[in-house]
Amino acid sequence: MNIWKRFILFQGTARSRFSLFAKINGLIVVLFIPIIIMYTYSNNVTYDVVSKELQISNTKQLTFLSSQIDSRITQMMDFSLILSRDPNVRAFNGLNMWDDLYDQMQTRYVIQEKMMLQSGVTDIWPTRYAVYSQQNHDVIANYNRTSGYDENYLKRNMSGQWTYGDHGAESQEKLQSFYWFFTDSLAQPGILTGSNLVIEASFSYENIQNMLDTYKKGGQGDPFFYHKGNSPILNRSAEKQLSEELIRYLDTHSLEDTTQDVVKLNGKNYLVSSVKSSYLDWHLVDVVPLYQILQPISLSRNLFYLSMILLFVVGISASILLYRNVQYPIKKLIQGLRRVEWGDYSVRLHSKDQNEFSFLFQRFNDMSHQIQDLIENVFHEKIRAREATLKQLQAQINPHFLYNCLGYIINMAQMKDEEAVISMAYNLSAYYRYTTRVERETSSLKEEIKLLVNYLDIQKLRNGRIEYHIDIPEHMLSQSVPRLMLQPIVENSVIHGVTKSYSSGEIRISGGSSDGFCKIYIDDDGPGLSPDQLEALNRKMQQPLQGEMGCGLWNTNQRIMHLFGNQSRLIFKPSPLGGFRTEIIWEIPTEEENHNDIS
């Protein structure tokens, strides 16, 4: 049973903890999380696939462009080899065995025509050739030269590799040409024997620019030709600032035969790809604005996230609207019902909106008001019935009390004790004058204390053992209390305390106020009650009136609670005098409430 109760309690706590508002918000979050996770995963996969395909495509295009450049260089080198074996070229490098000038001119013309024909094969790749005869100290070229045969020039450039620069001093431009010198000498490579035939093949940087321009038209990159230590060859429409920043980056990094990397320039990502030329030892570099190519994917991702945020805000707004217009009114209605269940019938519900819940609140307020009226009417009827019972009992006791007092007066008169007769008559008249006034249900504490003095003086005249002490602060005497609130309790102490004790009968009445409450203590030195009896008596004060229990103390307790609130009551304890103590505790009302009670 205990386990089942705990389970039910846990269910109730869980339901209160996870309200409808929390459940709806939790459902919204649960719906959004997998969608965002799946989309993020899909977007990342798409992003990676596009990036990889872009890298592969860019590398292939660069490799193809590099192979085209290498192919044209190979053609130039093959032509140089073929040209070196041409009979006319060999005749040009002969031992001056020509008989006449016409044959010499004819030979020069044929060689130049062959070189011109080879140079004009393609417009995009114009080439220049020159044939040097070391033996004749002569040179034939397919372009206009500003200088003739130069032996030192040949020795300086016989490296067997393609070189870049202004070897012939034909131009003063910053970007020059690529040169390659070939000889069919059987001696050590790079060494001229004095009778060698040297073929010079060269092409301008503009050939590279032409191919870079053609490549750029078919793509989205910005290619250029790069070699560390030399001025780069840019395409004619290159973005100079971007190229300069990238070149500064490349100068600090070593490039392999094929290199690809994502570089951040000016806060933006660029795909930098490079392929090394097989003959020139230069790198063909292409820089692609990666952020522009992948911008549609990023834009789509951002739009999706923005739409998810908007949907989330709309969902939360709808949840808040549902909470304010449905759950919150239901919660208020449940709280109101719980307060009614706990006995608070003064609860009222109010709504600013005019909807179905405002109608429910009005019906709830009407129901609570009707229940409160019914409860108060029934309670008042019970109080009146108890008061009638009390008055009936007092009416039955008062004659006996009166007869005893009159008998005492007669005896004292016969004994010629005029002072005792006067005192008894005075106290008896004051006592009955106060108890017979029924026009008011409340009186001041000062009037109640005067009644106690009259009553205790009467009892003291009849029983000389009675001693009483009253110590009430002056500021408490103006408090409004129910009439006959103290007399039944003091009478109870006299009857059940003093008369049942054979020692001196002392009654002490004291009081005080603190923390918004007034307290009066009524003590006697009688036999008192055991702790179990005190506990039972205190418990009965909070229960309905039972047949075996006297109604005097119970009725006084109910009147105090009805007038001052549920925190006001009677409490029974052992007395410091050794007998029985009754504590009267009531909450100090405000001045307005006190004035209404007096009125």
**Together in a domain, 484 and 567:** yes
**Together in a domain, 397 and 517:** yes
| Nearest residue to 201 (alpha-carbon basis) of 148, 136, 143 | 143
**Together in a domain, 374 and 289:** no
Residue 481 has which token pair?
Answer: 């209390």
Q: What is the CATH number of the domain that holds 271?
A: 3.30.450
pLDDT at 319: 77
**Together in a domain, 544 and 511:** yes
Query: Which of 208, 231, 250 corresponds to the end of one domain?
Result: 208
**Together in a domain, 250 and 203:** no
Task: Flag whether 302 is in a domain.
Answer: no
**Helix/strand/coil (H/E/C) assignment for every residue in 294-317:** CHHHHHHHHHHHHHHHHHHHHHHH
| Helix (H) or strand (E) segment spanning residue 181 | strand 177-183
Q: How far apart are CA 570 and CA 541, in angstroms?
A: 8
Question: Residue 554 contacts by C-beta under 8 Å, 6 or more apart in sequence?
Answer: 386, 540, 541, 545
Question: Residue 326 contacts by C-beta under 8 Å, 6 or more apart in sequence?
Answer: 20, 357
In this structure, are residues 221 and 60 in contact, taking their beta carbons and an 8 Å threshold?
no
Query: Which of 296, 325, 347 corresponds to the end of one domain?
Result: 296
Task: Flag whether 226 is in a domain.
Answer: yes
**Together in a domain, 247 and 139:** no
pLDDT at 44: 82
**Together in a domain, 157 and 280:** no
pLDDT at 92: 81
Query: Strands 466-471, 505-514: parallel, antiparallel or unpaired by DSSP?
Result: parallel
**Together in a domain, 183 and 238:** no
Long-range pairs of 60-63 with CB within 8 A, sequence gap ≥ 24 = 61/215, 61/218, 61/219, 61/286, 62/223, 62/273, 62/274, 62/275, 62/284, 62/286, 63/258, 63/275
pLDDT at 242: 85
pLDDT at 522: 93
Q: Cα–chain-centroid distance for residue 566?
A: 45
pLDDT at 548: 52
Q: Structural domain of residue 110, as residue ranges?
A: 85-208
In this structure, are residues 175 and 232 in contact, taking their beta carbons and an 8 Å threshold?
no
Question: Residue 534 contacts by C-beta under 8 Å, 6 or more apart in sequence?
Answer: 572, 573, 574
pLDDT at 598: 46
Q: Report the alpha-carbon angle 592-597-599, nearest 5.
A: 95
Burial class (CB in 10 A: 0-12, 13-18, 19+), 438: exposed
Edge-to-edge strand ranges of the sheet holding 138-141:
138-141, 128-133, 197-204, 177-183, 163-165
In this structure, are residues 214 and 124 in contact, taking their beta carbons and an 8 Å threshold?
yes
Question: Residue 538 contacts by C-beta under 8 Å, 6 or more apart in sequence?
Answer: 571, 572
Question: Count of domains in the chain?
Answer: 3
Mean pLDDT split into 10-residue runs, the chain, 599 residues: 46 51 77 83 80 82 88 88 84 65 78 79 77 85 80 81 67 68 67 77 88 83 87 87 86 84 83 87 86 75 84 82 75 80 76 73 80 77 65 56 78 81 84 73 87 86 85 90 85 80 81 90 88 86 65 78 84 88 87 50
